[in-house]
Amino acid sequence: MNVAETLKSLTTAEKAGLGSGIDMWCTKEIPEKNVPSIRTSDGPNGLRKMETNADGLGRDQSVEAICFPTASCLASSFDRDMIREVGQALGEECQTEGVSVLLGPGVNMKRSPLCGRNFEYYSEDPYLAGEIGTAMTNGVQSQGVGVCIKHFAANNQEKNRFSISVEADMRTLHEIYLRAFEKIVKTAKPWTVMCSYNMINGVYSCENKWLLTDTLRKRWGFDGAVITDWGAMNDRSKACEAGTDLEMPSSHGVRDKYLADAVDSGKLDSKYLDANAERLLKLIDRAISEREEYKKAHGGIPVYSKEEHHRIAEKAAEGSAVLLKNDGGLLPLEKDRKVLFIGEFAEESRYQGGGSSHINTYKVEKILDSADKAGIQYDYVKGFHVYPEEFDDNEEIFNEALSKAGRYDTAVIFAGLSDLEESEGFDRDDIELPEYQNKLISAVCDKLNNVAVVLFTGSPVAFPWKDKVSSILNMYLAGEAMGTALINILYGNVSPSGHLAETFPCRIQDTPAYLNFPGSRDNVAYAEGVYIGYRYYDKRDMDVLFPFGHGLTYTTFEYSDIRVNGMDPLALKKAEINGKSPVTVSLTIKNTGNFDAAEVPQIYVQNAPAYEGRPIKELKGFTKVFLKKGESKTVDIILDDQAFAYFEPKTDDWFVTPGQYTILAGSSSRDIRLSADINIDSDDRIPFKAGDTTTAMDIQKYYTGDPAPLKAFLEKAGFTQGLSGDVDAEQSSMGKAGARMDQAMYEDTPLHSVVSFAKDIDLQDVEDTIRKLNGENNF
């Protein structure tokens, strides 16, 4: 298609029509202008292709497809290559099914563990979510299919998601809630972005020019199309001007007419509608031509192999499971020692989430079937139902499990949440497992010593029985091949290698957003600012149940020889490193135990004190390395050019404070094995403009000119201590304490207030001093 020519040929009504769907999933075709329709489909952990007129609420069945592990599970793999492979498989499935845009991945932050949709999101950490989202995007798009990264932005709860206004400051938005999107846009060039339902600081995402034009397109260079979440359109004319291109699913022509009228009446400049239509034509053209390329490369559109993709799902589940606890090395189990399996999840496996991501699964592997296939010796008792309200034998099966437990020395209990407890559409009320499961686990532990719990949930839960059980294996929602993956891990064919992409808190009351989740009917204050997840627990020095990055395996690893840009810690003491270019951290890891396994070394930057408060440390790099027993490898982990930066609202940009930072290398955020101090060089400065609220401390911190005018002013006022810091305790009737307060007063009293305390100072002096300070300031 010649996009420029086609655009010229379209009428206003046709352009407006192009900007909304023809049905739930497809764009409109304009046959007389040779504009074809393209199809979108959910996403994100499998293909949920619906028939054209099917509804989007899950009442209709979608085509059969592979259900890969959900996002919280995949992210725990910390494995970019594996996630890329999953993305590639999803892309192939889209090609086979004629889908041009896959609606995912979802890269929203896990602000609270209560968000019902957390299973669809990667992490509480924007760097990790950005890296995983980049790998997924690259995988899908390598197959000539576009992704739609969602939900842009700050869609971090389900309650009132259609209209709630997220109240957050610029630093919090850029540093936490936009960061993963930024990374993916800049490095993986997604074809489309889905704007969220909610408002940000009082403006709907679809109408938010700051979000869609100033930030997404201008600041980050996004050149694709913006699609609304399904039903997230509000005022189409405002949305068009702000940079939203496609309203989905459709408004049955109502908003097409509204938009065309706005242009015809001159209320909306036609250039905005042209820009919209041009971006959509480019998207359609790209989808069609990439499909042609794909066909050429494959001699037609191949039908993907479901068996092959099932095995990719299995590998992904194996690489993502997180071993949280393993006292006494209970796991792996010996194959020929008969154990007792308890819990209906062994039959009714939970492996995916509810809502728009729900897959019509190709082949679910139930745990008991997989155990039979592997020739495992086990006995099974239900113990509890996943949906106990549907049965009246709950007490009976509980007691049966307890009496059988007495006859075994080892039990594995399969516990978790049902889709009535976590799903798209609503949030959880707490982080507890159902009471009947907690009771059963505790009671079984009273009967025997060796109890392993296997968990199936999309997000963290509390473990009141944590100290009573020997092992906890967190499978998350691990996709359709979860059965084989689980048996392989339980019996040691595969060593677990997942690490938590989110903190497991001790109590919901400990969580950073506890006082502000889900907010009121209309708005929610992100009062915790940048301190979400481990940033919060670290800063408050709090205990957690299991920390971010935690994950055990069947072997042990030794870390040694940390270097930064090739220099050891001694050489680093004397060196200066440019804080705005990538930095390479290398270290050697040795498998010192008895199993082959993969380790996930994580690099955190411990921050120097900055002008603004900063988290104690932040994840800035990681890799995954497989080591046979006894083997050691040196790995290079590259920290990107933003590893030392924070978002400075005063400069409205990323900012690197010069000074000393510490590079930490560890196996979790709270298991740091090596560290190296480094000196970061940066010429970033905060532009400083004096005003009547300027204080002596401001001048000391931010002012780069000659402070003489201020000195003269303070001398005249008798306030010189504000700059010199030399209040004498003798001078204060309250001794040292008084002197300390006086010092703070001298430092923090604004220029205009000095007038109140110093009889020789008048308003003219204040004005002159401000003028002189600013005159000498080069900013």
**Residue 427 phi, psi dihedral angles, 5° rounding:** -100, 165
Using CB under 6 A as the binding rule, whether residue 70 contacts ligand BGC is answered as no
Annotation says 229 is catalytic? yes
Using CB under 6 A as the binding rule, whether residue 121 contacts ligand BGC is answered as no
CB 152 within 8 A of CB 109: no
Angle subtended at Cα 80 by Cα 75 and Cα 86, rounded to the nearest 5 degrees: 80
Q: How far is the CB of 197 from ligand BGC (least distance, A)?
A: 7
Binds ligand BGC (CB under 6 A): choice among 121, 181, 230, 476: 230
Using CB under 6 A as the binding rule, whether residue 49 contacts ligand BGC is answered as no
Q: How far is the CB of 192 from ligand BGC (least distance, A)?
A: 11
Secondary-structure breakdown of the chain: helix, strand, coil percentages, each rounded to the nearest 5 = 35, 20, 45
Using CB under 6 A as the binding rule, whether residue 492 contacts ligand BGC is answered as no
Q: How far is the CB of 230 from ligand BGC (least distance, A)?
A: 4
Binds ligand BGC (CB under 6 A): choice among 36, 56, 492, 707: 56
How far apart are the C-alpha atoms of 644 and 679, rounded to whole Å?
11
Q: Which is nearer to ligand BGC, 229 or 502 (CB)?
A: 229
**108 three-state secondary structure:** coil
Using CB under 6 A as the binding rule, whether residue 168 contacts ligand BGC is answered as no
Using CB under 6 A as the binding rule, whether residue 427 contacts ligand BGC is answered as no
How far apart are the C-alpha atoms of 495 and 319, rounded to whole Å?
9
Residues contacting residue 707 through CB under 8 Å, at least 6 positions apart: 699, 723, 773
Residues contacting residue 773 through CB under 8 Å, at least 6 positions apart: 690, 694, 699, 703, 705, 707, 709, 710
Q: Which is nearer to ligand BGC, 60 or 269 (CB)?
A: 60
Using CB under 6 A as the binding rule, whether residue 538 contacts ligand BGC is answered as no
Q: Which is nearer to ligand BGC, 196 or 457 (CB)?
A: 196
Q: How far is the CB of 377 from ligand BGC (least distance, A)?
A: 44
Binds ligand BGC (CB under 6 A): choice among 103, 185, 587, 674: 103
Could you tell me where the beta strands, DSSP code E, fall in 153-211?
165-167, 192-195, 199-200, 203-204
Q: How far is the CB of 56 from ligand BGC (least distance, A)?
A: 4
Binds ligand BGC (CB under 6 A): choice among 14, 42, 480, 698: 42
Using CB under 6 A as the binding rule, whether residue 624 contacts ligand BGC is answered as no
Q: Token pair 């764009």 is at which residue?
A: 27
Q: Which is nearer to ligand BGC, 97 or 596 (CB)?
A: 97
Q: Largest Cα–Cα distance of the chain, in whole Å?
A: 93
Using CB under 6 A as the binding rule, whether residue 412 contacts ligand BGC is answered as no
List 42, 79, 125, 229, catalytic entry: 229
Binds ligand BGC (CB under 6 A): choice among 229, 290, 365, 421: 229
CB 96 within 8 A of CB 147: no
- Distances from the Cα of 126 to the Cαs of 11, 64, 75, 82, 535, in angstroms? 43, 33, 12, 19, 11
Using CB under 6 A as the binding rule, whether residue 358 contacts ligand BGC is answered as no
**327 secondary structure, DSSP code:** G
CB 267 within 8 A of CB 324: no
Structure tokens given for 512: 């950073």
Using CB under 6 A as the binding rule, whether residue 118 contacts ligand BGC is answered as no
Q: Which is nearer to ligand BGC, 56 or 707 (CB)?
A: 56
**Residue 566 phi, psi dihedral angles, 5° rounding:** 80, -5
Q: Which is nearer to ligand BGC, 45 or 370 (CB)?
A: 45
Q: Which of residues 136-165 bind ligand BGC (CB under 6 A)?
A: 150
**662 secondary structure, DSSP code:** E
CB 413 within 8 A of CB 454: yes
Structure tokens given for 125: 């950490």
How far apart are the C-alpha atoms of 104 and 45, rounded to whole Å?
8
How far apart are the C-alpha atoms of 176 and 129, rounded to whole Å?
10
CB 262 within 8 A of CB 31: no
Q: How far is the CB of 47 from ligand BGC (least distance, A)?
A: 12
For ligand BGC, which residue has the nearest CB? 356
Q: How far is the CB of 259 from ligand BGC (least distance, A)?
A: 22
Q: Which is nearer to ligand BGC, 252 or 759 (CB)?
A: 252
Q: How far is the CB of 241 from ligand BGC (least distance, A)?
A: 24
Using CB under 6 A as the binding rule, whether residue 537 contacts ligand BGC is answered as no
**x-marked contacts with ligand BGC along 331-350 as a string, rule CB under 6 A:** --------------------
Binds ligand BGC (CB under 6 A): choice among 157, 356, 495, 721: 356
User: Which of these, 245, 258, 255, lies nearest to 212 by C-alpha position?
Assistant: 245
How far apart are the C-alpha atoms of 441 and 772, rounded to whole Å?
73
Q: Which is nearer to ligand BGC, 120 or 241 (CB)?
A: 120
User: Which of these, 451, 411, 412, 458, lies nearest to 433 by C-alpha position?
Assistant: 458
How far apart are the C-alpha atoms of 184 and 187, rounded to whole Å?
5
Q: Token pair 């007419």 is at which residue?
A: 257
Q: Which is nearer to ligand BGC, 232 or 268 (CB)?
A: 232
Q: How far is the CB of 103 from ligand BGC (least distance, A)?
A: 4
Q: Which is nearer to ligand BGC, 103 or 608 (CB)?
A: 103
Number of residues that bind ligand BGC (CB under 6 A): 8
Count of alpha carbons within 13 Å of 669, Cβ hemisphere only? 32
Q: How far is the CB of 46 from ligand BGC (least distance, A)?
A: 13
Structure tokens given for 560: 């040694």
Active site residues: 229
Task: Return residues touching ligand BGC (CB under 6 A).
Answer: 42-43, 56, 103, 150, 229-230, 356
